Amino acid sequence: MFLRYCTWAFLVFLATAAQAQQAALPPSTGFTIFLKGTPIGREDVTVRTDASGVSIVSQGRMSVPSSVTTRRAEVKYGPDWTPQTFTLDATVNGGDVTAKSTFAGSVARTEGVQTGTPYARQHEISPQPVVLLPSSFFGAFEAVSRRLVNAPGGTELKAYVLPQGETTIKLVSSVTERIQIGKEVFDVWHLEALWQIPGTSDIGLSITSTKDGGLVRFSVPAQGLDVVRADVAASTSRTQVYSNAGDEAVTIPAAGFNLGATLTRPAAAAAAAPMPAVILLGGAGSNDRDGAAHGVSTLAQLAGALAKAGYLAVRYDKRGFGQSGGRSESATLSDYAEDVRVVVRWLNDRKDIDPKRIAVIGHGEGAWVALLAASRERKLAAVVSLAGPGTTGADLVLDQQQRTLERSTLSPQDRAARVALQKQIHSAVLTGKGWDGVPPDVRKEADTPWMQSFLLFDPGKTIEDVRQPILVVHGALDHQVLPSNAERLVALARTESKSKSVELVMVRGVNHLLTPAITGEIAEYATLDDRNVSKDVTDAVNTWLAKTFAAIR
């Protein structure tokens, strides 16, 4: 029996028969397959386009969740993207499976053998669908990226999933990005889409392609699946989501590894005049130096605004991500704070930087790291919290869960069970005991040094040792970290810290991403018309920094 639809990490589909000898194909492109950050396989994909249409050929190997060796997979399309044939020859968990699909008019027919058992399927299909075989032929998504790269948002693409039937891929948005490999940079399109499968919840897809539609990266974030072109998957590569006129790629030496960073210089900076500098830190889940989340490159945009105001801005990939070395799996908030101190010392040694005017700005979780760094590093002259939490990490998680449950259709009993499970996870993370009954995949995500440091973090205790001037900026429509957090953070700073200057700026009409919003709800992020950091936010920060640094001179 064929497997029914299930989550991506556990999809295993049929393999099909090898085709006869083909003419020589263009060079193949290698892709590395990751599952939750762990490499699990490789696929080599060749795309041939000529007057007869498009042919996508693949071979590869994958170790989990099933052992799959794809000796050959091929899908052929006509010049108008009408599918013609699909074939694949592979071994799944040691057993050979074969299949062949043909497409005539509105009918798709598939025949083959799975571990000795013949099978046959027939389905009605729409005109010109893409043909996909998830989890064993990712090269097939070359057709998706090429069909959607120049399409407007809202475009729906029919997808025939072998041998199950027809589904729909709906394009939500597309934005241009840049990918940097070493010092080389090239433009790409970043597509966000929803895979609408009958009988299941929609699956979010993230696709990166070259300008002509060539596949660069294919991801299913909810399942931790990431299929990345080999050169882009290398440690020397990063996605340059946003660029400013004064950007310069640099490497900052840290303890046993380097931090890949970008400097954004003021355009009119006098060569002989030491500049003030600002270090930018992203929130949880925003591991790259641009602070990219939900299509908003928060840190990169802040860097551009700061540079225009005369500051040299530094942003960097978190350790273990992008072009930064180190081990992400063992990193804690304390480790991230030490990385800030490394950057401070690096700036302090530069002749073009005024060592008395170095500030740190953190967004979300980054605000905690900024406070922690400021409590340890006296060479920091000022600290800014953008949408920073004012409670412990454990309380923040429970609060966010509660607000999510309030909007759900779950019964009171189910809600109570979810809360009880979350509290059990917290206790297990902090004590190392009580994991019984917690799903293994949940434990794998939660049982980390970072999570322990996050749950334990209390800004009230850290802020006691902060002496620098503090600015707290918060969006009045922030529904991810409620505005009450800013008020609590300011109250703590004014009563518990050693700082002689604490200010609060509440920005109307702005959400957690620091962009203009209508409701501020997380569900609104995907539909935002304006993905630019609010000028009210950047003006508040620049004005405060100018005043604060003027008092230092």
Instruction: Say if residue 19's pLDDT is above 80.
Output: no
Residues 123 and 33 in one domain: yes
Residues 436 and 385 in one domain: no
What is the number of structural domains in the chain? 3
Mean pLDDT of 438-461: 91
- d(Cα 515, Cα 522) in Å, to the nearest integer? 12
- 192 occurs within a structural domain: yes
Mean pLDDT of 76-98: 90
Q: Is 299 left (phi over 0), alpha (psi -120 to 50) or beta?
A: alpha
Residues 229 and 361 in one domain: no
- 1 occurs within a structural domain: no
Per-residue confidence (pLDDT) for residue 91, from 0 to 100:
87
- 438 occurs within a structural domain: yes
Residues 291 and 366 in one domain: yes
**Poorest-pLDDT segment among 3-17, 24-38, 292-306, 496-510:** 3-17
- 3 occurs within a structural domain: no
Residues 526 and 537 in one domain: yes
Residue where a domain terminates, one of 167, 200, 233: 233
Mean pLDDT of 137-156: 94
Instruction: Say if residue 2's pLDDT is above 90.
Output: no
Residues 71 and 175 in one domain: yes
Per-residue confidence (pLDDT) for residue 100, from 0 to 100:
93
Per-residue confidence (pLDDT) for residue 12, from 0 to 100:
27
163 within 8 A of 99, measured Cβ to Cβ = yes
Per-residue confidence (pLDDT) for residue 272, from 0 to 100:
63
Instruction: Say if residue 209's pLDDT is above 80.
Output: yes
* Residue 255 or 464, more confident: 464
Residues 212 and 254 in one domain: no
Per-residue confidence (pLDDT) for residue 26, from 0 to 100:
62
Burial of 506 (0-12, 13-18, 19+ CB in 10 A): middle
Residue where a domain terminates, one of 182, 204, 233: 233
159 within 8 A of 130, measured Cβ to Cβ = yes
Instruction: Say if residue 546's pLDDT is above 90.
Output: yes
What tokens appear for 247 in the block?
């950007």
Residues 408 and 507 in one domain: no
Residue 117 CB: number of other CB atoms within 10 A?
Answer: 10
Residues 224 and 289 in one domain: no
Residue where a domain terminates, one of 451, 469, 490: 451
Residue 286, amino acid? S
Q: What is the DSSP letter of 18?
A: P
Q: Which domain holds residue 72?
A: 8-233
- d(Cα 520, Cα 511) in Å, to the nearest integer? 5
Mean pLDDT of 420-424: 94
Full-model pTM: 0.65
- Mean pLDDT, the chain, whole residue set: 88
Residue 7 CB: number of other CB atoms within 10 A?
Answer: 15
Per-residue confidence (pLDDT) for residue 23, from 0 to 100:
39
Residue 94 CB: number of other CB atoms within 10 A?
Answer: 8
| pLDDT tens digit sequence for 219-251 | 988 777 889 998 887 755 566 556 788 889 899
Residue 491 CB: number of other CB atoms within 10 A?
Answer: 14
Mean pLDDT of 105-111: 92
Residues 91 and 191 in one domain: yes
Q: Which residues pair with 122 in a beta bridge?
A: 109
- 341 occurs within a structural domain: yes
- 206 occurs within a structural domain: yes
- 147 occurs within a structural domain: yes
Per-residue confidence (pLDDT) for residue 259, from 0 to 100:
93
Instruction: Say if residue 10's pLDDT is above 60.
Output: no
Per-residue confidence (pLDDT) for residue 36, from 0 to 100:
73
Mean pLDDT of 306-323: 92
Residues 383 and 402 in one domain: no
- Tell me the residue length of the chain: 553
Per-residue confidence (pLDDT) for residue 20, from 0 to 100:
30
Residues in CB range of 159: below 8 A, 6 or more apart: 129, 130, 131, 132, 144, 166, 167, 168, 169, 195
Residues 526 and 403 in one domain: no
Per-residue confidence (pLDDT) for residue 527, from 0 to 100:
84
Confidence of residue 271 (pLDDT cuts 50, 70, 90): low
Instruction: Say if residue 200's pLDDT is above 90.
Output: no
Per-residue confidence (pLDDT) for residue 34, from 0 to 100:
85
Mean pLDDT of 29-36: 87
- 2 occurs within a structural domain: no
